[in-house]
A and B are shown apart, each in its own frame.
Chain A
Amino acid sequence: MPLKLWRKPLDADKIKVLHGEVYIIKERCKGGKGCNFCIEYCPKEVLEESEEFNKKGFHPPRVKDENNCVLCGFCEAVCPDFAIFTVEKNCEGGC
């Protein structure tokens, strides 16, 4: 039996969990064993390695599970190559 929620948190209707949409500019990325900072330091393990090559022979990351992205923006901040960024997902119809 699940615990009955006897009190609704006062700000329950104000807190909005943000969801992110991840964009990867593959040709700019220097991913692979050498970088992969975004994969390693994403707190939600949204990204994973891929075997795909870009023109320069690097492996851009792949989105594993975008639903987990909380739009913290750390991947964007830690990317040395301006190759990844996130924008807020429109969740009007539910996410």
Chain B
Amino acid sequence: MRHDHLITARQLSRADIETVLDRAAEFDADPAAYGDRHPGALLGLLFFEPSTRTKMSFETAMKRLGGDVVDMGSVESSSVKKGESLADTVRVIEGYADALVLRHPRQGAAKLTGEYVDVPLLNAGDGAGHHPTQTLLDLYTIRENAGLDDLTIGIMGDLKYGRTVHSLAHALTNFDAHQHFISPESLQIPRSVRYDLHESGAMVREHTDLTDILPELDVLYVTRIQRERFPDENEYHAVAGEYQIDAETLEAASDDLTVMHPLPRVDEIAADVDDTDHAKYFEQAHNGVPVRMALLDLLLGDSE
């Protein structure tokens, strides 16, 4: 990879993605065997928004590579609360670490940070913007289960605000993938994402109902529709209910269908799906560690 920072999935070429996924596969085969890879390297964790799992996943990845983490801690206990700008905070903390991970509630926060710091930066989610490390672990999971070319994928749920969806859709334009977006009209993909997909010649169709397209899918990627996106409770229940799946729903699907979800889920995938061969969302979550090991290894390697 010829990048210093990983800000958005849009910056990744097919070759970049394959480099990361190949390296991740090596680490995945024996994650405990790489403790001498980056001894003493320090990863700075800047989480301006709570995210226990993503943070733990990065921490595990760095420690598996022989390094350690330094953690800014929660926003409530830090100087950020006193009104320090992000640009100032990151310039101080970069002095403590060999690489940084940033999660921030505002869109564009990672791009801004990347302009101020010299150590490699990994964007772990900026508002409704991008979440490229999630995308790479999604791609890894898709490649392991269905392959990335000649792929027909359905992406369902909140496509308007879901950052995992935007990053994934961008990244899939590098592959021979047909993308079907399934959502209520009020939660369709935003204009800027549609613009990029159109520009890159992506094969995209939009649906409001899963039924017709389900039998064609190799992968169904489900995301959560959040209560707060709707003005009233009744409307939320009426709409969200149409985008929930259970084992019975999946009887109409191909036997090889892979069901994914960025987790945490609430009720959009019923527990009875867990027992089917379709369920790959826990495997997907576990893939976060080897994929983040691969990213850290590539970025730290480049910087030395």
A, B co-complexed: no
